[in-house]
């Protein structure tokens, strides 16, 4: 990789259809087109949907080159597609009134929640919605029409469900229970019935808390280590629960979080957060660190998750308000 462009003075970067949306003080740029932001709207991207808003009453979604207004009923929605989203509001008993919109068709239903809902997911090919709770103790499954399907509750007091990563592979839902930031239990459930298919009691040696789905339907993840120097890489078969864990590139410190990793093709991309910083690339088949590109930053800074396309790698450095573009 080599740097081909550095953009400075950027307050925030979002990515829309694999292209950076650069937000400056009073304007933002999409595909080299400049949009005024005199209203100081917040520009964000979610599941391939670019939107801007000051509050839920001013929400607009970017469609065919224009920002189109969206009318909400309850609250700011979670988008799954430009024309698919969910919104909800709580009653006094923390049950939720839900509005699910799909291509103009509205579905209203209620959810009985032990502690509210958080981070909804829509599994489109199954027509199933998954919900966490803010306390990270349960997972709920509902049909998109509001039919309750099943619930998993994490009953071990010291464990919490990792809401950031709940992979769904065919009919298998993978649930990772964490002790702090380390996985202690990994389970597979049938997405339609909630039947537990398998369980792994993890020793949390090198396993990451975040997995990425390969085109072979296997799950891959990695994490950096300082205490026992090196990089841990994991392959999980979601159908058989076979877990392949190994420590690669030993005897050197690495400081990156498993959720700040991107998988593209058969490679995992991470940004090391040590002083100086670097981009690293791991080949999941060779199980090797195959490329390292220094960023040459003198101080320790906060760096976002790398965004990877077929020909470029984008790295946003928040502390420097700087976007670096690398050519593969």
CB 249 within 8 A of CB 230: yes
Across the beta sheet with 33-36, what order do the strands follow? 12-16, 19-23, 27-30, 33-36
Measured CA to CA, the distance from residue 183 to residue 207 in angstroms comes to 7
Cα dist. 238→51, 88, 166, 190, 327 in Å? Answer: 34, 31, 12, 11, 33
pLDDT value of position 311: 94
CB 217 within 8 A of CB 170: yes
pLDDT value of position 226: 67
CB 177 within 8 A of CB 156: yes
Measured CA to CA, the distance from residue 248 to residue 161 in angstroms comes to 27
What phi and psi values does residue 120 have, to the nearest 5 degrees? -65, 145
Look up tokens 């909804």; give the residue.
120
Predicted confidence (pLDDT) per residue in 59-79, tens digit? 999 998 899 999 999 989 999
Measured CA to CA, the distance from residue 52 to residue 203 in angstroms comes to 43
pLDDT value of position 249: 85
Question: 111's torsion region: left (phi>0), alpha (psi -120 to 50) or beta?
Answer: beta
pLDDT value of position 95: 85
Tens of pLDDT along the chain (328 residues)?
999 999 999 999 999 998 999 999 889 999 889 999 877 889 999 999 999 998 878 899 999 889 999 999 998 999 999 999 999 998 777 789 999 999 999 999 999 887 888 899 999 999 999 999 989 999 999 999 999 999 999 999 999 999 999 999 999 999 999 998 889 999 999 999 999 999 998 765 557 899 999 999 999 999 887 677 889 899 999 999 999 988 888 878 888 889 999 999 999 999 987 767 899 999 999 999 999 999 998 888 888 899 999 999 999 999 999 999 999 9
CB 327 within 8 A of CB 4: yes
Measured CA to CA, the distance from residue 212 to residue 222 in angstroms comes to 10
Other Cβ atoms within 10 Å of 248 Cβ, number = 16
Q: Give the per-residue SS3 of 248-298.
A: ECCCCCCCCCCCCEEEECCEEEEEECCCEEEEEEEECCCCEEEEEEEEEEC
Predicted confidence (pLDDT) per residue in 85-138, tens digit? 999 998 777 789 999 999 999 999 999 887 888 899 999 999 999 999 989 999
Look up tokens 């009653």; give the residue.
91
Please list, in sequence order, all residues whose beta carbon lies within 8 angstroms of the beta carbon of residue 7, skipping any fewer than 6 positions away. 22, 322, 323, 325
Tell me the whole-structure pTM to 2 decimals. Answer: 0.91
Cα dist. 56→99, 116, 218, 293 in Å? Answer: 14, 20, 38, 41
Q: Beta 49-53 vs 307-308: how paired, if at all? A: unpaired
pLDDT value of position 113: 84
């Amino acid at each position: 990789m080599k740097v081909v462009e550095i953009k400075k003075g950027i307050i925030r970067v979002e990515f829309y259809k694999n292209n950076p949306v650069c937000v400056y003080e009073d304007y933002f740029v999409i595909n080299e087109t400049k949009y005024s932001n005199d209203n100081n709207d917040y520009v964000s991207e979610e599941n391939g949907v670019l939107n801007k808003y000051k509050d839920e009453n001013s929400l607009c979604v970017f469609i065919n080159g224009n920002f189109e207004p969206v009318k909400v009923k309850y609250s700011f929605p979670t988008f799954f597609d430009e024309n698919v989203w969910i919104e909800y509001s709580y009653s006094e008993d923390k049950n939720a009134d839900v509005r699910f919109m799909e291509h103009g068709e509205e579905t209203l239903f209620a959810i009985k929640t032990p502690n509210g809902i958080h981070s909804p997911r829509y599994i489109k090919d199954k027509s199933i919605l998954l919900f966490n709770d803010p306390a990270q103790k349960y997972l709920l499954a509902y049909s998109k029409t509001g039919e309750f399907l099943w619930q998993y509750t994490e009953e071990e007091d010291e464990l919490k469900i990792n809401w950031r990563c709940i992979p769904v592979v065919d009919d298998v839902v993978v649930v990772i229970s964490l002790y702090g930031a380390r996985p202690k239990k990994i389970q597979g459930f049938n997405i339609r019935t909630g039947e537990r298919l398998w369980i792994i009691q993890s020793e949390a040696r090198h396993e990451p808390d975040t997995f990425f789905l390969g085109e072979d339907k296997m799950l891959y993840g990695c994490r950096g280590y300082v205490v026992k120097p090196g990089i841990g890489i994991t392959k999980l078969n979601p159908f058989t629960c076979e877990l392949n864990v190994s420590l690669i590139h030993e005897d050197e410190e690495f400081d990156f979080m498993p959720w700040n990793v991107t998988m593209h093709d058969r490679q995992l991309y991470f940004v090391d957060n040590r002083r100086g910083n670097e981009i690293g690339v791991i080949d999941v088949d060779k199980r090797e660190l195959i490329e390292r590109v220094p960023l040459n930053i003198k101080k320790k800074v906060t760096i976002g998750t790398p965004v990877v396309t077929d020909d470029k790698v984008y790295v946003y450095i928040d502390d420097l308000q700087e976007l670096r573009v690398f050519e593969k």
